[in-house]
Structure 1
């Protein structure tokens, strides 16, 4: 599928700035900015030649309000320890906000008694923005409830359970991706599978575990759980031939600890359910899936423009891309990890 043209593409082909394209599309000028008839005609010609169609919601948003979209992050997103995971979300958010002709405002200051960030306190400035994208592994339910009650436009990146009402979100379809990986393992002859992770707490973990459980039940194979930590003895004691790790960083830790006892995937196959959310150094080609982080960031902004303009509670799950990897192999005769050392 061809990539959708953006205002940045039109600007590059016309030899002008993205701001100029936005002003031409909205038939307006800003402050001291004056667009010559020749420049305007050049932009319009490129638009006609390429068949570019501006996002109606973005155009409506650019015609009013403060033209500021907020981003509230429950975890720090700029330090090196977090940047690898959050960076694609932020790239998508920034790209789509620029295409809408808006500015981004990053909210970081509100705290509750020195603990983790909260949207609301006596100095909360969330209303400076026309609407807000929420980003974080977990989102405070009291914050969600107040956003809903106060009718502040927002969209969460990540599926969220109701919080006094339905929550607008764009998430990843973790349940379907986990189920697809279970089916792939069963097709390779695996009949006893172990899930390594909490499986509860954040909605993203619950969705992964639900997809795993639904698939093993549907296929009539045995699915067991080995707690929330990557304990080598606990995993091997299950007798499973394939381990599904909720957190990729835990899979890296497990394989490092077990390298003298088993071979992956000859003795035990390993599947990871998404990208690492904690910093980890590894060049292992895991079988698993990719979270569509950049697309989620973009779609969050697209949905937010609609919420600001027309209200509503959009809820979408985007598909995850499966990765073939090299850590899942067929379960041959007698396959399975050796029992823990005595």
Structure 2
């Protein structure tokens, strides 16, 4: 008798597919008796291929998945690096699941591919997930953690994005700037959805609470990229009327784009325009960009360590952690000339 899917094994064992998945992976919350019965049924039905038969002995694939909206952007690539450093040290493999390459195939990814990837745990890099996608992830009953931004129902390792944006905005206000614009990081694919909202809210509320005017026309989208920052700067600089003396950018990549466009137009930074970002991108020091620094490598490393500790049986190893951030003052911000 050959099983065509995990559902066949679940039916034969009279348990849920999630329980079968946990038993085969050797995860907690499955009794020894139930695990032994499921493994015996799976072996009898041929559910586990011969090339992976040794996996039944340990119940583990020694593979951690990383679900990412993109792999080309700085934060995501650095967080993945942090995860991989820990996995290599512990003889685990990394399986990268790049949503940027799936286009309209997300539904199939979550409904079918995720369960059959045979991963022991999953890191989710700051995604906005649909309710159905969250349900499919939780049905796997593997350890889960988010990195870089909140994901509903997950423990997370990330900075307080509201406080980080507030710190950046306050720095400009304390320098004496009153005409402050924002390049925010909206994502047209809605894949990175809570972080830009939190940073946008902090910017607006910090201005208002300081008695300054918030101008919606000075809030432009930069898509979290250098090219997006250049485009946003053009829209701000080409707008009629008075110009801002400072720009808060919700990421360093956008801030670097703003600085490039300012230089192209002969706008001096910081004499004519102060610019601040968030991240501490590897190019920020060379460009002299003032920023609110965070460490995505460390965030990825910590998340991976917690997942491995939970897989090793440590109770409550996966928990939410507030990652540190700090203001790094460089040459791109100064008091306004007038």
Q: 2:234 aligns with which of 229, 232, 235?
A: 232
1:107 to partner: Cα distance: 4.0
Does the aligned pair in 2 maintain the 1:130–1:153 contact within 8 Å? yes
Cα distance in 1, alignment partners of residues 61 and 279 from structure 2: 34
* Pair 245,83 (structure 1): closer, same or farther in 2 beyond 3 Å: closer
Q: 2:271 aligns with which of 251, 266, 269?
A: 266
TM-score normalized by the length of structure 2: 0.64
In structure 2, the gaps of 5 or more residues are 1-57, 223-231
Q: 2:203 aligns with which of 197, 200, 212?
A: 212
1:85 to partner: Cα distance: 4.2
1:103 to partner: Cα distance: 0.7
Is residue 2:304 matched to residue 1:296?
no
Does the aligned pair in 2 maintain the 1:199–1:209 contact within 8 Å? no
Q: 2:133 aligns with which of 124, 143, 146?
A: 143
Does the aligned pair in 2 maintain the 1:109–1:117 contact within 8 Å? no
1:91 to partner: Cα distance: 3.1
Is residue 2:178 matched to residue 1:174?
no
TM-score normalized by the length of structure 1: 0.64
Q: Which residue of 2 aligns with 1:256?
A: 260
Q: 2:184 aligns with which of 188, 197, 212?
A: 197
Cα distance in 2, alignment partners of residues 244 and 113 from structure 1: 31
In structure 1, the gaps of 5 or more residues are 1-63, 335-342
Q: Which residue of 2 aligns with 1:314?
A: 319
- Aligned partner of residue 120 in structure 1, secondary structure: helix
1:247 to partner: Cα distance: 3.4
Cα distance in 1, alignment partners of residues 281 and 258 from structure 2: 14
Measured on the aligned residues, the alpha-carbon RMSD in Å equals 3.4
Q: How many residues align?
A: 259
Q: Which residue of 2 aligns with 1:120?
A: 110
Moved more, 123-132 or 178-187: 123-132
Is residue 2:57 matched to residue 1:70?
no
* Pair 198,147 (structure 1): closer, same or farther in 2 beyond 3 Å: same
* Pair 123,184 (structure 1): closer, same or farther in 2 beyond 3 Å: closer
1:246 to partner: Cα distance: 1.9
Cα distance in 2, alignment partners of residues 275 and 72 from structure 1: 23
- Aligned partner of residue 253 in structure 2, secondary structure: helix
* Pair 148,198 (structure 1): closer, same or farther in 2 beyond 3 Å: same
Cα distance in 2, alignment partners of residues 238 and 227 from structure 1: 16
Is residue 2:232 matched to residue 1:241?
no
* Pair 98,313 (structure 1): closer, same or farther in 2 beyond 3 Å: closer
Cα distance in 2, alignment partners of residues 281 and 193 from structure 1: 21
Q: Which residue of 1 aligns with 2:170?
A: 183
Relative to its length, the structure with more helix (as a share) is: 2
1:84 to partner: Cα distance: 5.0
- Aligned partner of residue 264 in structure 1, secondary structure: coil
* Pair 186,76 (structure 1): closer, same or farther in 2 beyond 3 Å: closer
Q: Which residue of 2 aligns with 1:104?
A: 93
Q: Which residue of 1 aligns with 2:123?
A: 133
Is residue 2:148 matched to residue 1:158?
yes
1:104 to partner: Cα distance: 1.9
- Aligned partner of residue 272 in structure 1, secondary structure: strand
1:216 to partner: Cα distance: 2.1
1:288 to partner: Cα distance: 0.9
* Pair 251,83 (structure 1): closer, same or farther in 2 beyond 3 Å: closer
